[in-house]
Amino acid sequence: MTDSLVSPLASPEEQDAEASVRPKRLSEFVAQERVREQLEVLLHSALRRGSPPDHILFSGSPGLGKTTLAMIVAAELGGALRMTSGPAIERSGDLAAVLTSLQQGDVLFIDEIHRIAKPAEELLYSAMEDFRVDVMVGKGPGATAIPLDVEPFTLVGATTRAGLLTGPMRDRFGFVGHLEFYSAPELAALLQRSARILGVAATQEGIAEIAGRSRGTPRIANRLLRRVRDYAELRSDGVVNVSSARAALKVYDVDDMGLDRLDKAVLRSLVELFGGGPVGLSTLAVAVGEQPDTVEEVVEPFLVRAGLLARTPRGRVATAAAWRHLGKKPPNGTFGVGATTAPDLFTVDGQPDT
């Protein structure tokens, strides 16, 4: 989809490397102290009672550890983990087959649960509440509902768009944990652990350099660590230090703020081609040669959070910080330079940006 370092696509070798550094237990999970403490109480109290805990929902941006926490939940409970995703469940029968195959104490993980099909979602309600599903046999007036029991299980859902979950679905989760972006010191601690597991020689300064460019996201931090390791082994002495980190990240087009090629292409188009905006999403995507979904879901969240881009009812606008980041002087009236009000955070079609 894109050559961005934040692309979710990865080779099997990359996936194996990411799996090797995943924490296996709550005690190994770095940061997210509040969610970790709440989860520890929930799981350990359920173990003492000898019953499955309430169903769990994790929300947050990609790469913050939702899948890892689902694996940890299964490990802490001592149950098997079954994994699927919302888009993969197109029919209620698909979900019924998964649910009826679960054993007592199993953990069912549904990634991107907000994208589950409506018929399957309605089937899931009774499974979550009563551990029972009604499978329809036949069509029309002669259709018959056959009730099937489901072994007590724990559902762990993950979503990057919590606002798209229906109210009935959200209400059936007994625990909702929102994962925040990591601070640079938290990412540094995570990278030190990853370096030990991968056998990478690294200095604290080199680790800190990578952490500061990782956009608050562990998945990106671990990926950049591997790229810097590759560079250090090929063109240096094999040690990840400040100089090798800076040189490697320059090769991979990751700047001091963590912006990569696509991020900077969006900002340059917005500033140099459209005078800072406002400009519509589709027009901006055409200018950088990407799909609108890629720009909106992969690029914009970080640029908005970094204060480099704003969404207004008329389109995307580059802030004064964006102009300065590109080495240009922002004109008067740019958001952040002489502007009297901040732009309302709306999408391009005028709807609230949720």
Domain boundaries, the chain: 32-178, 259-354
Q: Which residues are catalytic?
A: 66-67, 111, 160, 219
Q: Which residues of the chain have pLDDT under 70?
A: 1-18, 135-145, 332-354
CA distance linking residue 69 with residue 125, whole number of Å: 23
CA distance linking residue 71 with residue 62, whole number of Å: 16
CA distance linking residue 148 with residue 155, whole number of Å: 18
CATH topology for 259-354 is Arc Repressor Mutant, subunit A (1.10.10)
pLDDT at 138: 53
CA distance linking residue 282 with residue 265, whole number of Å: 15
The pTM of the full predicted model, rounded to 2 decimals, is 0.79
CATH architecture for residues 32-178: 3-Layer(aba) Sandwich (3.40)
What long-range pairs does 301-309 form, CB within 8 A, spacing at least 24? 301/61, 302/6, 302/215, 302/258, 302/259, 302/263, 303/259, 303/263, 303/266, 303/267, 305/181, 306/257, 307/336, 308/267, 309/266, 309/267, 309/270
